[in-house]
A and B are shown apart, each in its own frame.
Chain A
Amino acid sequence: MNLTRSGFLRFLTAPLVLLSRRRACAAPNRRWALVIDNRRCMQDAGCSACIQACHRAHNVPRIPDARHEVKWLWKERFQNLFGAEAVPVAAQNRLALALCNHCDNPPCTRVCPTAATWKRPDGVVMMDWHRCIGCRYCMAACPYASRSFNWIDPKPYITGPTPDFPRRTKGVVEKCNFCEERLAVGKAPACVEACPERSLVFGDLNDPQSEVRQLLNSRFTIRRHPELGTRPSVFYVV
Chain B
Amino acid sequence: MSRIGIVCIYTLQEVRRDRLFWGFVPLMLFVIAFTFFMRETSIVAGAEALNRSYIALSALAAAVFIVLLVVSSMYREIDSKAIFMVITKPIARHEYILGKFIAFSLISAGIIIIFFAGALVLGVGPAKPLAVHYILCLFEQLVMIMAALAITLGLRSLPSSILGVAGFYIIGHSTKKMVDIGMHMASAWVPALKVFYYLFPSLSLFSAQAAVLEQGPVSWTDIFFPVGYAALYLAILFLIIVIDIRKRDF
| A and B together in one complex | no
